[in-house]
Amino acid sequence: MKLILAILRDEDVETISHEMVSHGFRVTRIASTGGFWRRGNTTFMIGIEDEKVDQAIQVMKDHCSQPSEPNAHRATIFVLNVAQYDHF
């Protein structure tokens, strides 16, 4: 089991959220702020099976728009190991 933390620009959040759900991924959204200009971001938390990590990342890559600012990132993604997972 893995936990994906994906920090996305606000302008991409609705599209990516819709695409993730349509591909069967459960996504928790958290409003966040960061970067030099303190622009709005959204952090997705996605608990996922190991074998589906690459597919989830590809969905996000496919639906992130190109940033208009030079040297800006489309997204920042962390994939963490999960020692235990309970769902009740």
CATH code assigned to 2-74: 3.30.70.120
Supply the pLDDT for residue 61: 95
Cα separation, 57 vs 21, in Å, equals 13
* Whole-model pTM over 0.85: yes
Cα separation, 7 vs 30, in Å, equals 9
Tokens of 22: 């349509």
Cα separation, 29 vs 17, in Å, equals 9
**Cβ atoms of residues 30 and 45 within 8 Å:** yes
Q: Over the stretch 20-57, which tens digit does the pLDDT of each residue have?
A: 999 999 999 998 776 555 667 899 999 999 999 999 99
- Where along the chain do its domains lie? 2-74
